[in-house]
Structure 1
């Protein structure tokens, strides 16, 4: 009688875990789909032959003493953006990525997804490209909604917290849904 009661209790726990697993999956399906697809794309970004992320080009020298001052390179990048992409785009810089070993500097702009790569020594344009990886990253962590609404990261933190907890719940309930029946059969 005692063994039967224990099996009933285990079966009840399994049913609860199955319901939590199913409900969580149904409620968060679209978010898990977006995270998985964007995660795969982000994993491939450097191996996408320049489709997702423009390839880093080689400049003429990696010797920093031969490079132009950063403010001159910045002015050149803004000029290239205005002349070669669009005069209407914001020239506000998100970050400057110095690739000393490659002899190049990447200027990544804040309000759009263009990047300009310049030779650090000559200021010559090495590449003008759309950085699709930045858009994909913003979708992946929901910061695209923060940017749209101007909520300064609040949605990103909420979203990543919810999705992290959901993944933890999926891991625990999924493991128990696999392990629980094995335990019940073993005890029979």
Structure 2
């Protein structure tokens, strides 16, 4: 194949890549916007001065043998939630984060992004805070839609798959949009 035909074929491929890149970019713009902004915020969560994520406080003992039973700590966290914040809030737990080295247990509630930190040994309240980072993570990975629809997990799976494939397509087409003209110039010489 002579250089003229190679260049025409390369130009056709380059136009195709440009069209895929532009169309996918226009279609997925809003999703990439949310992923990028939420990703930046999540990168700063521990350095946000407790705006995004409450600081982890220290309890009085990191010896588990000194600690109250986990069910007693759980009951205390629920009592604190209802007495200090609102009796109307759900006590459904998303996760319990045991920090032995800090002598502290975090109770993170499922439906309202509240976190309560208790001293593992005394049950004393160390912190009551809003975990904005959990909401931002749910926006970032698409699980906020699943939570809204009832928590099946299928939207998150679909969303992360589409966005991962889109990022791969953007990487390939973007590389070719950068390299293709260089390659065509080589063919011209």
Structure 2-normalised TM-score? 0.97
Partner of 1:89: 89
Deviation by residue 1:76-106 (Cα, 9 ceiling, x = unmatched): 0000000001000000111000001111000
Deviation by residue 1:11-53 (Cα, 9 ceiling, x = unmatched): 0100000000000000000000000000111111111111101
SS at match of 1:96: strand
Name the Cα RMSD after superposition: 0.9
The answer to whether structure 1 residue 182 and structure 2 residue 182 are counterparts is yes
Alpha-carbon separation, structure 1, partners of 2:104 and 2:42: 23
The answer to whether structure 1 residue 129 and structure 2 residue 132 are counterparts is no
The answer to whether structure 1 residue 55 and structure 2 residue 55 are counterparts is yes
Unmatched 5+ stretches in structure 1: none
Partner of 1:110: 110
Structure 1-normalised TM-score? 0.98
Number of residues of Structure 1 aligned to a counterpart in Structure 2: 188
SS at match of 1:126: strand
SS at match of 1:75: helix
How many angstroms does 1:151 deviate by?
4.5
Alpha-carbon separation, structure 2, partners of 1:152 and 1:112: 18
Partner of 1:30: 30
Partner of 1:11: 11
Alpha-carbon separation, structure 1, partners of 2:151 and 2:181: 46
SS at match of 2:161: helix
Runs of 4+ in structure 1 off by over 4 angstroms are none
Alpha-carbon separation, structure 1, partners of 2:133 and 2:22: 32
Distance 1:151 1:118, change over 3 A: closer
